[in-house]
Amino acid sequence: MIIPKGWRTIAFNVFCVFLVPILNLPEVAAILPEGWQPFYALFIAIVNMQLRRVTTTPLGRKE
């Protein structure tokens, strides 16, 4: 499935939001290092800033 321009940043954020509960499952949390959540949040913020910098289409608009 190809995500239309203008929706890619939103799709990335939705994916990241749904990834948080999976990362907090006991099976997954056992292999993650202690204190990883602040770095996850920082990573998401940096990626969002980069996506908005390179985006040419307004959010939610199909082009």
Give the predicted TM-score (pTM) of the model. 0.69
Rounded CA gap, 49 and 55, in Å? 10
2-29 residue pLDDT tens: 888 878 888 888 898 898 888 888 998 8
Burial class (CB in 10 A: 0-12, 13-18, 19+), 12: middle
Ordered alpha helix ranges (H), 24-36: 26-29
Residue 25 DSSP SS3 = coil
23-55 residue pLDDT tens: 888 998 888 888 888 888 899 989 988 888 888
